[in-house]
Structure 1
Amino acid sequence: MEKAPFFADVADGPTDGAAWWLITADGVRVRAGLWGGSKPRGTVLLFPGRTEYIEKYGRTAGDLAKRGYATLALDWRGQGISDRLTGDAMSGHVMRFTDYQHDVNAMIATAEALDLPRPWHLLAHSMGGCIGLRAVLEGLPVQSCVFSGPMWGIKISGSLRPLAWSLSWTSSKLGMGERYAPGTDPENYVLTEPFATNKLTGCPDMYQYMIDQALAYPELGLGGPSLHWLYEALRETRALAREPSPELPCLTVLGSEEDIVDPARIIERMSRWPDGRFEVIAAGRHEVLMDTPEMRGDVMELIGRFLDAPRDVAHEKSPTMDHARPVAADAQARQS
């Protein structure tokens, strides 16, 4: 495998980080990154969200390394420094949502080539949760899966949903699918949205961490999604909603203040996951893995216990939203 750039200076992760270029079955070049750890007892396959990149998960990889897990992460096609798919590098675009499975397959081939220690586990955030659910349904070789704010539905008001469908479908048919979805633009969100109104995190330090990365390496950044991406995402989330939940141990965490993905789809999915556990994180926004030290600590402890538990005794019946047990009960304590 050919070495790829790895921006350790902004990742704030374990010191052994490295990255490689992978070529997918359909000829797209994507980047994989590994924090191997010292004698790890398992590997976490980390699926980032839309606009994200390997280095953004440096601190998460550090938390996992403390528990004895290596972390293999990926820049999806069209973002990070993987191949961009249109002439506008800031446009989040994909031809078919299932094309992301080519990236997954290349990632798995890399994990096998590197002989990464098993068992393997999935940790997937936001768009990565949508890709990850499809991958699990198609036999992803993991022992368990963890989802953070998974994009099993996109938060769109009921009155605007028909318009989103019709506009995204029509634009693709008319050759305008690469245009930005309404309300989005080419700008990097963290460089234009003030901390006070951001939907990602309640921690100023973590928001500055994202800003510093974006300023140091602008090539990692991404703007809004294309209209065709929106159409493909709507199609894929609808298709996944019709699928049964996999027979695989699952933990899903969701911020109580989620405002990007659709909580109703997550609650519905977890209500019928036979070996699933659902946790609402009090005062959490979209990125509960990247919030205050207290919230991050609680969430990573929850994830760590789930990964560590013997699989024959680890699982509980998935509770409904009314019975979901918040990890952080005091919202005020979560503000830094």
Structure 2
Amino acid sequence: MDDILRVTPGNPMPPNATAGYFEGHRGVKLRYALFRSDISPAAGTVVLLQGRNEFIEKYYETIRDLNAMGLWVATFDLRGQGGSERLTKDPRKGHVRRFRDYERDLEIFLEKIVLPDARMPFFLIGHSTGALIALSAGPRLGNRISRMALLGPYIGFQNQEAPETVVRPLSALLSWTGFGHVSLGKDKSRLPFENNGLTRDQRRFDRNTEIIKAYPELTVGAPTARWVHETLSAARRVSRQTHLTEITIPTLILAPVLDGVVPYALQEELSRNFRAAQLVTITGGRHEILQEKDIYRAQALAAFQAFMPGEDGGLDLTETAA
């Protein structure tokens, strides 16, 4: 298993894991893992969709927490990052050809891995770019996914080198004129803890930094113009009420008020236009809620456990609070 999934002293692998590769859209090789709970019968399976520049190992702690709730976890590294196949000659570039490629990878994952091998019912947890993928694919997921939880969905950005009003037309121009592979911005995969904008938890930040130091091949650098253009176009599309009304899956939007990447106001507005969604405000939390301090992270875990019941009608929320 170690040749597929990595471990570090401070980040042990959850038990009962199966890992491998599957063929995504257009034959791209994608790394996946399935983690089984010891609790029987299982309460269901969570499909975990990562954010940009994330990887399976970063979620080991969360996977153990979900397994303790009786939930299996199925996850895969997005194309172009983690242990999945890169899409450019330079493996450090975070790239995607079409945003729809992410959605097709998810649909193939559900069909080829989750449906045959995991336990129903199926839930989805998406963070940042993963949440954007879930929102975009949402109208087609109603017959497979029972409920969704979206954490800091990437529907816009703030606190970057240039404002979105500049980056949006620039990325579009570069994409349309054949320069979509040009990187935009700086490589932020190894920023120091101070003013990182993602989490205020030093211990979890250091743990993730150690993973990156031990296995730098899991990370990517700055996104390409094409990636930025495709994701911002998708963000604008999924934020329209006409799109949101087509999603009937009961959904939680977990919005950290101090999100350093996605403006909280955009997440709040998204929830107002999304009839199937309920907003859960996490006051004091930053963008990576599942990598945050326990006081904020526990709110997300409690929301998962209360909102994603198994076939027996759900688990007792007081067990998490104990």
User: TM-score, normalised to structure 1's length?
Assistant: 0.85
2:215 maps to a residue whose letter is Y
Distance 1:3-1:26 versus aligned 2 partners, 3 A rule: farther
Partner of 1:307: 308
Partner of 1:43: 45
Partner of 2:205: 207
Distance 1:235-1:22 versus aligned 2 partners, 3 A rule: same
Q: Distance in 2 between matches of 1:201 and 1:160?
A: 22
Partner of 1:87: 89
The DSSP-based 3-state class of the residue aligned with 1:172 is helix
The question of whether the paired residues in 2 share the 8 Å contact of 1:151 and 1:262 is answered with no
Q: Distance in 2 between matches of 1:90 and 1:206?
A: 24
Alignment of 1:1-336 (within 5 A): 5-9=4-8, 11-38=11-38, 39=40, 40-108=42-110, 109-114=112-117, 116-139=118-141, 141-155=144-158, 160-181=163-184, 184-185=185-186, 187-189=187-189, 191=190, 193-242=191-240, 243-245=243-245, 246-308=247-309
Deviation at 1:212, TM superposition (A): 0.9
The question of whether the paired residues in 2 share the 8 Å contact of 1:11 and 1:57 is answered with no
The question of whether the paired residues in 2 share the 8 Å contact of 1:18 and 1:34 is answered with yes
The question of whether the paired residues in 2 share the 8 Å contact of 1:3 and 1:19 is answered with no
Q: Distance in 2 between matches of 1:15 and 1:281?
A: 30
Q: Distance in 2 between matches of 1:162 and 1:253?
A: 25
Q: Distance in 1 between matches of 2:104 and 2:113?
A: 12
2:297 maps to a residue whose letter is R
Q: Distance in 1 between matches of 2:164 and 2:188?
A: 25
Supply the RMSD in Å over aligned alpha carbons.
2.4
Q: Distance in 2 between matches of 1:53 and 1:302?
A: 23
1:68 maps to a residue whose letter is G
Superposed CA deviations along residues 129-171 of structure 1, whole A, max 9, x for unmatched, are 10011122222511100010011223379x9434222211221
Superposed CA deviations along residues 30-57 of structure 1, whole A, max 9, x for unmatched, are 1111111123220000000000011111
Distance 1:272-1:173 versus aligned 2 partners, 3 A rule: closer
Deviation at 1:17, TM superposition (A): 2.4
The question of whether the paired residues in 2 share the 8 Å contact of 1:31 and 1:74 is answered with yes
2:63 maps to a residue whose letter is A
Q: Distance in 1 between matches of 2:296 and 2:262?
A: 20
The DSSP-based 3-state class of the residue aligned with 2:124 is strand
The DSSP-based 3-state class of the residue aligned with 2:305 is helix
Distance 1:212-1:277 versus aligned 2 partners, 3 A rule: same
User: TM-score, normalised to structure 2's length?
Assistant: 0.88
Q: Distance in 2 between matches of 1:313 and 1:7?
A: 33
2:106 maps to a residue whose letter is V
Deviation at 1:249, TM superposition (A): 1.1
Partner of 1:321: none
The question of whether the paired residues in 2 share the 8 Å contact of 1:34 and 1:70 is answered with yes
Superposed CA deviations along residues 292-333 of structure 1, whole A, max 9, x for unmatched, are 12322232112211112889999xxxxxxxxxxxxxxxxxxx
Q: Distance in 2 between matches of 1:26 and 1:206?
A: 36
Q: Structure 1 residues 293-302 or 203-212, which shifts more? A: 293-302
Q: Structure 1 residues 300-309 or 96-105, which shifts more? A: 300-309
List alignment gaps of at least 5 residues for structure 1. 315-336
Distance 1:145-1:294 versus aligned 2 partners, 3 A rule: same
2:94 maps to a residue whose letter is G
Q: Distance in 1 between matches of 2:122 and 2:116?
A: 14
Deviation at 1:209, TM superposition (A): 1.1
Deviation at 1:259, TM superposition (A): 1.9
Deviation at 1:216, TM superposition (A): 1.1
Aligned length: 306
1:113 maps to a residue whose letter is P
The question of whether the paired residues in 2 share the 8 Å contact of 1:13 and 1:60 is answered with no
The DSSP-based 3-state class of the residue aligned with 1:197 is coil
The question of whether the paired residues in 1 share the 8 Å contact of 2:43 and 2:312 is answered with no
1:23 maps to a residue whose letter is E
Deviation at 1:95, TM superposition (A): 0.6
1:48 maps to a residue whose letter is Q
Q: Distance in 1 between matches of 2:77 and 2:46?
A: 15
List alignment gaps of at least 5 residues for structure 2. 316-322
